[in-house]
Structure 1
Amino acid sequence: MNKSKYLRGKRIAPTPITKDTTLVQLIETTFQAYNAARLREGAQLFADRMLGDDVTVGLTLTGALTPAGLGISAIIPLIEAGFVDWIISTGANLYHDTHFGIGLSLHQGNPQISDVVLREEGVVRIYDIFFDYDVLLSTDSFFREIIRAEEFQHEMSTAEFHWLCGKYIAERERVLGLTNQSVLSTAYRCGVPVYTSSPGDSSIGMNVAALELQGGKIRINPSTDVNETAAIVLNAKRSGGKSAIFICGGGSPKNFALQTEPQIQEVLGIEEKGHDMFLQVTDARPDTGGLSGATPSEAVSWGKIDPDQLPGTVVCYVDSTVALPLITAYALAKRAPRPLKRLYDKRGEMMNLLKSEYEKSERR
């Protein structure tokens, strides 16, 4: 009998699937190998460890997730359950999220249809998602209208900007009789700060830029975002807790979330070790050198991940539109809701902590 230590893994002996098999049973007993196993490990990491009461969970969003309905189906339930404490998203996801909150419609379509024909008929395509060109114009009009308000006319972080946008979207939902249609309005109600790593790289940023041409005084300060996100992570650690990052896709939001630790350690000179848990769902390969495919072990070399916590990292190579609903359903089935941390309301307090520790640093 071979007694190699490499044969100590759990025996592959799945339970046959029946009509009564639950999603939890499906994931735990039939996802035995390859990326199914990584998805199981990721779901278990999220539900069993990342959702501990002392863990602050950041979620990053890349790729066209909200147009596919994942804001409504997965992200909003995670926020309301207290399973997501802060978010970094592409601006595009937040722009398309707004369509739903202001009562506009997107439709399933056939990706084989000629784009020339679609253009002639005023239909915009995101792979197999179709919507009328007027959806863009109506959403642009909504943003131009609200950002003219006096409360927008000053310098702010993207968290404050999105909080204000969420307030107006929530009011539009109320008027239209809609419920739980927008990530931004839900984040507003739940006190979840929402950042974007590239404020100008979306139709929201384009409309902000247009207002500037008209003399608007709104200014988005990326440096405030860098410091506020670092403060969130430092606060999680200094309060005796842990920091976890759930990455959907990769790209700029991934780096913006992970760079919080180099900002704390390398730039500000504050003693820290890195994020404690890391879950990424991606289709990007690591061997091309892109950030989206960079592994947790590579992140250790940058100080982004605590080297002692590498067992608390999982990378699952699968489409986020497949993985996120499954992980969400698994977590909601396995864990009771957590109290909302309402980190948006604590930004000043967390920034004071960051400043006080930086004042003691030799890097000043």
Structure 2
Amino acid sequence: MSNRPISEFLEKYYLHFNAAALVDASKGYVAHLKDGGKMMITLAGAMSTAEMGKILADMIRQGKVDIISCTGANLEEDVMNLVAHSHYKRVPNYRDLTPEQERELLDQHYNRVTDTCIPEEEAFRRLQTHLEDVWHAAEEKGERYFPHEFLYQVVNSGVLEQYYEIDPKDSWIVAAAEKNLPIVCPGWEDSTTGNIFTSNVIKGNLNVHTVKSGIEYMIYLTEWYRANSGGKGVGFFQIGGGIAGDFPICVVPMMYQDLEWEDVPFWSYFCQISDSTTSYGSYSGAVPNEKITWGKLDIDTPKYIVESDATICAPLMFTYILENS
């Protein structure tokens, strides 16, 4: 039995169009790592609710990713799945739901993401109490942390273990917390936990500055990039579009255009998995070459775009990378 069965399957059958792009990008990722490069993975959409953590956790534990940029939803929803998996509700016929049936889901405290409903009480509220505890503890000490650092504190404390409903090896946040993996979470305010923090600020329970801001995340990323972009440099593997990708990729032009620093290396590998049709004005649908004009990629940067569903492609690509590096 071969120890790289997925790789051999892909190399035999994925020969043209998006299939070939998937293999080429995977090989490029492997080559980048073998040359000593580092890699950022960005997570848009609801990849955590799609249980991408099952394979992403392996990528983290085996050292195939050095930093992650994700939305607040992906940050929190991986932990929500960890502590409330059995309470999730799948709705295969979600396209046929009437507005009245959607309202019934709301009344039952289910929040739907495509075919999967997140249970509000078991997921959101179970996590809320423990996050509020670390927010208050930090404030009492006059300390401030990033959103992902607060989540790491909760996970590493062990208080959630009593609720675990999946094997923690399938949680990418648990894997990231174990390694204290750098995370950038732009727009964290646009998340359930961000809303919970906001409500506490409005009620006068917490200070708005207890959780560090998006500007501070950009400063943090700037320092990380400067420290890690030597040699082969840092690659950029983007799942979806939106702020999770656009925010971190801008750190390069920010440094040399706005800070006017010299010798700032471009991102040294780029791949995007997107189901957004290439179109006018769409960031998610922009081809990689457009990023040359924005000072993010260079002429000879390896560039790939896989125009397909990330929930199908990313696990195949990550498995290829794990089998070959």
TM-score range, shorter chain: 0.7 to 0.9
In structure 2, the partner of 1:202 is 191
1:186 equivalent among 158, 175, 196: 175
Shift in Å at residue 276 of structure 1? Answer: 0.8
The Cα offsets for residues 263-293 of structure 1, whole Å up to 9 and x where unpaired, read as: 1110111122411100110011232312112
Shift in Å at residue 149 of structure 1? Answer: 1.8
Check the 8 A contact 1:162/1:184 in 2, yes or no: no
Matches of 1:122 and 1:280 in 2, distance apart?
34
Matches of 2:311 and 2:35 in 1, distance apart?
27
Give secondary structure in 2 for the equivalent of 1:216: coil
1:278 equivalent among 245, 270, 279: 270
Matches of 2:4 and 2:173 in 1, distance apart?
35
Count of residues paired in the alignment: 310
Identity across the alignment (%) = 22
Structure 1 gaps of 5+ residues are: 1-19, 336-364
Matches of 1:333 and 1:142 in 2, distance apart?
38
From the superposition, tell whether residues 65 and 188 of structure 1 become closer, same or farther in structure 2 (CA, over 3 Å): same
2:218 equivalent among 221, 226, 248: 226
Check the 8 A contact 1:56/1:85 in 2, yes or no: yes
Check the 8 A contact 2:218/2:248 in 1, yes or no: no
Matches of 1:153 and 1:182 in 2, distance apart?
30
Larger radius of gyration: 1
Give secondary structure in 2 for the equivalent of 1:315: strand
Matches of 1:180 and 1:55 in 2, distance apart?
26
Give secondary structure in 1 for the equivalent of 2:215: helix
Give secondary structure in 2 for the equivalent of 1:244: strand
1:267 equivalent among 258, 274, 286: 258
Check the 8 A contact 2:131/2:150 in 1, yes or no: no
Matches of 1:38 and 1:266 in 2, distance apart?
32
2:241 is the alignment partner of 1:243: no
In structure 1, the partner of 2:78 is 97
Structure 2 gaps of 5+ residues are: none
Matches of 1:21 and 1:59 in 2, distance apart?
23
Shift in Å at residue 175 of structure 1? Answer: 4.4
From the superposition, tell whether residues 24 and 123 of structure 1 become closer, same or farther in structure 2 (CA, over 3 Å): same
Give secondary structure in 1 for the equivalent of 2:69: strand
From the superposition, tell whether residues 215 and 141 of structure 1 become closer, same or farther in structure 2 (CA, over 3 Å): closer
2:16 is the alignment partner of 1:33: yes
What root-mean-square deviation, in Å, do the aligned CA atoms of Structure 1 and Structure 2 show? 2.4
From the superposition, tell whether residues 269 and 84 of structure 1 become closer, same or farther in structure 2 (CA, over 3 Å): same
Where do residues 8-27 of structure 1 align in structure 2 (5 Å cutoff)?
Answer: 22-27=5-10
From the superposition, tell whether residues 191 and 133 of structure 1 become closer, same or farther in structure 2 (CA, over 3 Å): closer
From the superposition, tell whether residues 162 and 154 of structure 1 become closer, same or farther in structure 2 (CA, over 3 Å): farther
Deviates more, 1:37-46 or 1:285-294: 285-294
Equivalent AA in structure 1 for residue 255 of structure 2: I
Shift in Å at residue 151 of structure 1? Answer: 6.1
Matches of 1:230 and 1:279 in 2, distance apart?
21
From the superposition, tell whether residues 173 and 119 of structure 1 become closer, same or farther in structure 2 (CA, over 3 Å): closer
In structure 2, the partner of 1:130 is 117
From the superposition, tell whether residues 53 and 216 of structure 1 become closer, same or farther in structure 2 (CA, over 3 Å): farther
Give me the TM-score of the superposition, normalised by structure 2.
0.87
Equivalent AA in structure 2 for residue 250 of structure 1: G
2:30 is the alignment partner of 1:68: no
2:245 is the alignment partner of 1:254: yes
Matches of 2:221 and 2:149 in 1, distance apart?
15
Question: Which has the bigger relative contact order, CA under 8 A and spacing at least 6?
Answer: 2
Matches of 1:55 and 1:232 in 2, distance apart?
14
Matches of 1:275 and 1:152 in 2, distance apart?
40
Equivalent AA in structure 2 for residue 140 of structure 1: Q
Matches of 1:133 and 1:175 in 2, distance apart?
18
In structure 2, the partner of 1:342 is none
Give secondary structure in 2 for the equivalent of 1:57: strand
In structure 2, the partner of 1:352 is none
Deviates more, 1:20-29 or 1:248-257: 20-29
From the superposition, tell whether residues 240 and 121 of structure 1 become closer, same or farther in structure 2 (CA, over 3 Å): closer
2:149 is the alignment partner of 1:163: yes
